Chain A
Amino acid sequence: MRNLIAKLAMAAAVLGGGLGAAAAETANIWVRADGSNFMPRIVDAYNKAHKDQVKLDIIPNAEIIPKYGAAAAGGTAPDALSLDLIYTPSFAAAGQLEDITDWAKSLPYFASLSPAHVKTGTYKDHIYGLPFSADASVLIWNKKLFKQAGLDPEKGPANWAEIEADAEKVNALGGNIKGFYFSGNCGGCNIFTFTPLIWASGGDILSEDGMKATLDSPQLRGAIDLYRSMVKKDLVPAGAQTDTGANFFAAFAAGNIGISPSGAFAIGALNTQYPNVDYGVTFLPGKDGNWSSFAGGDNFVVTKGTKKLAVVKEFLDFAYSLEGQTILAKYGSLPVRGDIAKDALKDLDPRYQIAAEAMAKGKTPYSVVFNDLINSANGPWTQMINEVFFGDDVDGAIANAQETMQSIIDQAPQK
């Protein structure tokens, strides 16, 4: 018995990273499930090479915000977390995050960190979040189906007319094969893949500072008409109308879809889980060419008042090293440091280069009420896209969404 206690005590000392006087510290970090592939590997690599340690918890995507809120209220919040970047403004506005402006600006590579991340990580001229992982939206097409339909399998569509024409040709193959797929009842999916069509044509849905909804634009109307026309011609499976995002990736992966807007994450997922699908990656085009992308991913934020700030900084610095960025790229995220992105992607699937380029020029809407406006399954954006793609009253739906979005923005707490 005494023996057992002694062993336990020793184990505890080892686990605690103790070794007496050295007193290594352990910081607790959370990541949402989207990062469950690369994050544990970066943490392992860091822990092996450093005296201070990081303990990682992976939280389901939908749970991480309420769980963090509850933990923060109870004083058990993690020292830092990797947070969907669009939430950074609202977290910063709530006074929950540590101001890391000085440290961020002292980093020698600060200028080459993903600009879209840094922009959403900045609140009232202070920096609260820095890029951690990145995902850019792109257009993917099925090369096998393109070949069968008599199209050039190496050439993806480069404007709206080509998207529709190619989808129509693939659709004509018949049977289970459909030309185009999108998740028609998923706000998050469509802000990621549908708004770039608008941006590439020169329009936008929110003003630069996020204080004005600007839905009533010819660019939005044009993009809607493209989708409506494809729905009307039956190029899209019937399930798209009610897909809340569950099939966002799976529909294309099954191999029966000609073209689908998607994200860089699909490259890793297709290569590892569906090696038989032969696909190409290109940019999301504007009406007459040009292109754009949604720069998504996670910002790394630090809980206000944490005592492990030094460990957290050391960990982030490691993640930004070439080693960290390479691990990141290998396991499903794009690099977030522009100056070494090429090196980090060197040995990987060349299709990542397109996604990395899309990321570099990517755009992210800025709003402290992003969840209410866009991601919520019952928010104005989700309701509007479903109505305008499949309903009868396009003008009414846009006007209604414009009004609701503006009122949500106006009612948001201004601190």
Chain B
Amino acid sequence: MTTIPATSVAPARKRAGAGRRQWIGLIYVAPAVALVMVFFVIPLGMTAWMSLHNWPLMGEHSFVGLGNYWAILRDTRFWNALKFTGFYTLVVTIAIFAVAFPLAIFIERPRPLTNLYRTMFFMPAVVGFASASLLWSWLLNVDSGLFSPAAYDLGLIDRKFNLLATFQPAFWSIIAMVVWKVAGFTMIILMTGLQSIPQDLQEAAVIDGAGPFARFRAITLPLMRRTLALALILSVAGSILAFDQFYIILRGGPRNQTLTAVYWIFNQSFVSFKLGYGAALSMVLLVILVALSLVQLWLLRKPEGLD
């Protein structure tokens, strides 16, 4: 008789304890959940809701169902902007890695002045994109800037060359500016990846007679998979959302050839005052971005059998 209550009480108590722990757990995560709700989930929901409306900046809005999305299908300028954004992302990501990887290898090992180099290479990353764009906007100015007037004064060119007037020089100027600004950050990420590779693996490979290239391909790259994935996703996502540098330095020019997807969304929302259409474009861009990130994660997933 006496054992029955005892056995029935104990699980009840356990359940109550587990319930309380769950409640405490919920309280612990509540601030984070609240932040995510307020600053991400609710705005996202509102954007989705607005995208189903004809929503002018001023005046009444009306429900149009999927009308905005049908309009996007026919919006050739948006698709052109997206095409340019893709091209820019490809070029700038390759350029960033081409600069950041050698830098990371260079500064990975302690040697004299390493800290100085690390700081120097990383410095541009702490400048905001808008401020960096304003700085380069001046550097690139043909009349009062640095590059063109300096080349002219040094006698390298006999007529001042306006770097921002035609597509190729303007585009590559932006690439140079972004690489200068972002490569330091990517370098730090890659450096931590390099440092996490156990030294004895490299030494074993050396003893086995592997050359530096073979070691890089067979040890460094595979063991940096996750670091590479992180750096790649950050770089690609950042580039697809590019706006500041094209807005501040080029104004989408020369002749609207450097309009990015986000720039187009901004124009539709705040120049043409079509907030609903801008919201629909944002949703489309979000889907594209999520899909691209998933593809990258899948490509860089951990292969079977590897730790």
Contacts and interface: CB of A to CB of B under 8 A. Distances in A.
Contact of A69 (B144, B159, B255, B273): B273
B153 interface: no
* Interface size of B as a range: 20 to 34
A313 B56 CA distance: 29
A241 interface: yes
B162 A238 contact: yes
Given A242-B164, A378-B251, A371 B271 contact: yes
Nearest to A375: B271
A96 interface: yes
A378 B162 contact: no
Contacts of A378: 251-252, 256, 259, 263, 267, 271
A283 to B, nearest CB: 29
Interface stretch (A101-109, A215-223, A356-364, A383-391): A383-391
Interface of B is mostly: loop
A376 B256 CA distance: 11
Contact of B143 (A65, A239, A391): A239
B265 to A, nearest CB: 12
Contacts of B256: 378, 383
B271 A372 contact: yes
Given A386-B254, A387-B255, A237 B58 contact: no
B59 A390 contact: no
Given A66-B270, A376-B271, A239 B57 contact: no
A242 B59 contact: no
B141 interface: yes
Contacts of B273: 65, 69, 90, 371
A383 B255 contact: yes
Contact of B255 (A72, A73, A386): A386
B90 to A, nearest CB: 23
Interface residues of A, number: 31
B58 A238 contact: no
Given A66-B57, A95-B60, A238-B162, A372 B253 contact: no
Interface in B16-75: 56-60
Nearest to B268: A372
Given A239-B142, A376-B267, A377-B251, A73 B259 contact: no
A237 B271 contact: no
B114 interface: no
B272 A372 contact: yes
Contacts of A160: none
Contacts of B259: 378
Contacts of A70: 57
Given A69-B273, A94-B59, A95-B59, A239 B251 contact: no
Contacts of B60: 95
B58 A73 contact: yes
B160 interface: yes
A9 B61 CA distance: 42
A239 B162 contact: yes
A-B residue pairs, 10 tightest by C-beta: A69-B57, A94-B59, A239-B143, A94-B58, A377-B251, A242-B164, A96-B58, A378-B252, A241-B165, A238-B142
18 contacts: A66-B270, A94-B58, A95-B58, A95-B60, A96-B59, A185-B251, A185-B253, A237-B143, A238-B160, A238-B165, A239-B142, A371-B271, A371-B272, A371-B273, A378-B252, A378-B271, A386-B253, A386-B255
Given A95-B60, A386-B255, 18 more contacts: A69-B273, A70-B57, A94-B56, A238-B142, A238-B160, A238-B161, A239-B142, A242-B164, A242-B253, A371-B271, A371-B272, A372-B271, A376-B271, A377-B251, A383-B255, A386-B253, A386-B254, A387-B255
